[in-house]
Amino acid sequence: MYLNKVKAMAAIVAAMGAIMAAPAHAGKTIDAIKARGQVICGVNPSLPGFAAADSQGNWSGLDVDVCKAVAATLLGDASKVKWTPLNASQRFAALQSGEIDVLSRNTTWTLTRDASLGLNFTGTTYYDGQGFMVTKKSKITSAKQLKGATVCVQSGTTTEKNLADYSKAMKLNMKPVVFETQEATNKAYFTGRCQVYTTDASGLASVRNKEATNPDDHLILPELISKEPLGPSVRRGDDEWFAIVKWVVYALLEAEEYGITQANVDQMKSSTDPVVMRILGTSEDTGKLLGLDKEWAYRAIKAVGNYGEVFERNVGPKSALKLPRGANNQWNKGGLMYAPPVR
């Protein structure tokens, strides 16, 4: 009896090992992407630092780089992306309907969205929080001074509910002035229709830098009133595609942790560090578990650089937005960015 149990357990363990070692099969989303030769990426129509197009139609930004990295990984070319600009109220329907393959559009990961919209968030690419912007001439220096203030806010966002919650909790009786698009919200604030503008703090910095006649005339108040973990999402029901997008983000994070950059990635292929070797595919072939080849992460890093480079180029202290690294620093440097190991 005991021997039979041992044999049965051994058979189960062997079967599990075979399953774990088996290459992943391509999902329907991956098949569609390969057939058309493009990843269709839903992005913000114009949020410099995260997603914006220049006069030649070239897109750049932190959210844009995520899609470029995914395209480089899957199709071998970071330029093989079709950009689909979406406002806040359009974005989830576009993903649900199959109009886009991935939504990479400064979107907050919440329980309601995760559990009820038929999508999966693939991780956090920017830890943010909701803030307030006012004119310096208003002499307001704290959110506690906003009692009765009119506040410009975009509909279909977590921002709208957070504003109502904060106003009620702090007994401020703020008066929301709601607009469907970001463009309308921007215009209302800068023409004086509202005393205050509220959205994610990174968004406020982007809007101030792009839209204000003189950015120094506007102050982002120090209080953050919410947690806004922003990240890409994909439709539910295609685990293979979910895994690829998720692990591309993690690969960029782990590349920074181990000093792999866009400039040195080729040189690092000769590294004898076991972690670096796994990331770049010079030892174990982790790609087969994702339905990819062994250089999947190498291509992502070569295309856009590691996460730190993506941050610095688009939103960091040396960019136009001049945002501090803060919570978006690596876990071993006081931040929240922590990637599961590529192994």
217-230 pLDDT per residue, tens: 999 999 999 999 99
pTM of the predicted model over 0.95: no
Q: Indicate the fold that domain 28-127+230-333 takes in CATH.
A: D-Maltodextrin-Binding Protein; domain 2 (3.40.190)
**H-type helices in 175-260, by residue range?**
182-190, 201-211, 239-257
Q: Indicate the fold that domain 130-226 takes in CATH.
A: D-Maltodextrin-Binding Protein; domain 2 (3.40.190)
Q: How far apart are the C-alpha atoms of 284 and 318, rounded to whole Å?
A: 37
Phi, psi (degrees; rounded to nearest 5) at 134? -135, 165
Q: How far apart are the C-alpha atoms of 140 and 27, rounded to whole Å?
A: 53
More confident residue, 18 or 324: 324
Q: Where are the domains of the chain?
A: 28-127+230-333, 130-226
Q: Summarize pLDDT for 148-187 with one digit per residue, the tens.
A: 999 999 998 899 999 999 999 999 999 999 999 999 999 9
For the segment 122-138, the average pLDDT, to the nearest whole number, is 97
